[in-house]
């Protein structure tokens, strides 16, 4: 059985983590398949937005497949963390918008994967969390960096220090997710959002993502420079000219 299922729906690609019998735990084969699928989609001109979800109704992903980590040495653990970090970094910097449809629990590495996406929609019955502290450890696939950047250090520290699960409503309240949706409507609503984004110019979407990440990782001044250069790069492109002409045509009709 495929560990990652890919479906194409027009401009939107739907990726499904496909290990429902293991609550979509992030095994090494699954992560390798996810990484290679994102690489494939990066060069697919027909795809403009990627939606990521989990198979079944229990879990987006319950986290790393702990059974693979038995017998790790300290060096093994370090290498495994750096390997997973590199995959999630590539998802974060993927040149097309990404949306996580959190259909069930997203714990540990599952939440870290969702945090690597640009947007997160969550089922009302779902819960998220970083429970690694209960195993005398802490998040190792980017959670210690992405969660504080997203919701602030104090709120992130509470989630990581307690290891307690967070409800969908509370996740929305702290800004961890963008929307809470009834479970049966989650995929339709996420696809609707993806399609609305996909109607925008791909070059502008990619440039916008790149500029935001420059500011987040290199600071405000570097971000402002990238912002100005990005607008300049897009100015006068066929898509920008067409959009501008359409804007003025609508304005003149009023």
Going by C-beta distance under 8 Å and a sequence separation of 6 or more, which residues neighbour residue 139?
108, 109, 112, 130, 132, 147, 160
Give catalytic residues, as residue numbers. 112, 132
**Which stretches of the chain are DSSP H helices?**
28-42, 74-92, 109-115, 143-151, 153-162, 168-173, 186-198, 202-218, 220-234, 238-253
Going by C-beta distance under 8 Å and a sequence separation of 6 or more, which residues neighbour residue 62?
22, 23, 24, 25, 105, 107, 108, 110
DSSP, collapsed to helix, strand or coil, labels residue 116 as coil
CB 60 within 8 A of CB 104: yes
């Amino acid at each position: 059985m495929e560990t990652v299922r890919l479906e194409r729906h027009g401009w939107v690609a739907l990726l499904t983590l496909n290990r429902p019998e293991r609550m979509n735990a992030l095994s090494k084969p699954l992560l390798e398949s996810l990484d290679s699928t994102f690489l494939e989609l990066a060069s697919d001109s027909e795809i403009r937005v990627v939606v990521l979800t989990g198979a079944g109704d229990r879990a987006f992903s319950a986290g790393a497949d702990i059974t693979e980590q038995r017998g790790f040495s300290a060096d093994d653990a370090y290498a495994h963390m750096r390997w997973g970090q590199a995959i999630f970094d590539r998802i974060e910097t993927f040149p097309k918008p990404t949306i996580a449809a959190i259909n069930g629990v997203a714990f540990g590495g599952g939440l870290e994967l969702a945090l690597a996406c640009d947007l997160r929609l969550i089922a009302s019955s779902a819960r998220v969390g970083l429970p690694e502290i209960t195993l005398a450890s802490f998040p190792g696939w980017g959670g210690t960096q992405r969660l504080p950047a997203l919701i602030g250090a104090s709120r992130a520290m509470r989630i990581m220090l307690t290891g307690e699960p967070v409800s969908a409503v509370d996740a929305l309240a702290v800004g961890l997710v963008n929307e809470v949706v009834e479970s049966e409507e989650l995929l339709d609503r996420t696809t609707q959002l993806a399609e609305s984004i996909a109607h925008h110019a791909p070059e502008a979407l990619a440039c916008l993502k790149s500029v935001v990440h420059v500011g987040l990782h290199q600071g405000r001044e570097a971000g402002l420079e990238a912002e100005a250069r990005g607008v300049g790069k897009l100015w006068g492109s066929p898509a920008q000219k067409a959009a501008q002409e359409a804007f003025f045509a609508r304005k003149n009709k009023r």
